[in-house]
Amino acid sequence: MPPSLPPPRLQLPAGIGARAEHAQSGAARRRGRRHLGRVPAGTMAEGRDRDVYTAPPPRTPVADRTTSVPNPVTFLQAVFSYVIDTPVTFVREWIESRQAKNKFYYYHQKFPRVPDLSECVEGDHLCFFEAEAQWRRDRMVDQQIVEICRERLGACKQREGPNQFQNCAKEMEQLAQVTKAYQARYGDLGVHGNSRTCLMKQKHRMIEERKAQANAS
């Protein structure tokens, strides 16, 4: 009796045989792992063949945040850009292109010193006017000096924090001296103070100091 031939092997479609072989090898590996203990987490996810076992599509739909209502911020930015920013930038660039050809140099204006009110001759109104204008300029300069000293002290306090009384002693003393000098010259003059009232104040102060020295001696 002729030997029986083995049954013909089934011709599986492309890809099915690879999946079956991979499944058999996976089953063999699982049977072997029963005696090796628990498999660490992440082993199956890292060792799987992505070509054979394709990942299923996600079930959670992607959120579509696009709406039919336009964003007002984008609209306002566009309006600002076309209405304000673009014309101003154009005008500024045009002015800079014109100024590049003819450069202007700015300097601090220096006023020559004129005689003080105490040096003017009686009836010389032009000298009175120049002395008054010079006094007002000097007062503005002294005001700026006091303001600068105050800003320096404020910046030092902000910078030093709790150590301001120790590290800002120099700025405090400087501000105290400048404020005292400003008060001695321009204090109590009122809103309508001028060079004449300031001169009278200095005269009365000098008289009081001389009286105090005479009484002390």
183 plus 211 within the same structural domain: yes
Q: Which residue is listed with tokens 């039919």? A: 68
86 plus 163 within the same structural domain: no
> What is the spatial distance between Cα 179 and Cα 177, in angstroms, rounded to a whole number?
6
Smallest Cα–Cα separation from 150: which of 182, 128, 127? 182
Count the domains in the chain.
2
Tens-place pLDDT, residues 32-63: 444 444 444 444 445 556 666 566 666 666 66
145 plus 206 within the same structural domain: yes
101 plus 123 within the same structural domain: no
- Tell me the residue range of the domain where 93 lies: 70-106
Smallest Cα–Cα separation from 147: which of 186, 179, 185? 179
Q: Are 117 and 157 in contact (CB under 8 A)?
A: no
148 plus 179 within the same structural domain: yes
Residue 39 placed within a domain: no
178 plus 209 within the same structural domain: yes
Is the pLDDT assigned to residue 189 strictly greater than 90?
Answer: no
| Domain boundary, last residue among 106, 129, 161 | 106
Tens-place pLDDT, residues 139-179: 999 999 999 999 999 999 999 888 889 999 999 999 999 99
124 plus 193 within the same structural domain: yes
Q: Are 119 and 113 in contact (CB under 8 A)?
A: no
Q: Does residue 10 or residue 106 have the better pLDDT?
A: 106
Residue 80 placed within a domain: yes
| Average pLDDT over every residue of 182-189 | 89
| Domain boundary, last residue among 85, 106, 127 | 106
Query: How is 80-144 classified by DSSP, letter by letter?
Result: HIIIIIHHHHHHHHHHHHHHHHS--------PPP---GGGSPTT-HHHHHHHHHHHHHHHHHHHH
Residue 123 placed within a domain: yes
Residue 101 placed within a domain: yes
> What is the spatial distance between Cα 198 and Cα 135, in angstroms, rounded to a whole number?
9
Tens-place pLDDT, residues 105-132: 778 888 899 999 989 998 999 999 999 9
92 plus 140 within the same structural domain: no
Residue 97 placed within a domain: yes
> What is the spatial distance between Cα 2 and Cα 5, in angstroms, rounded to a whole number?
9
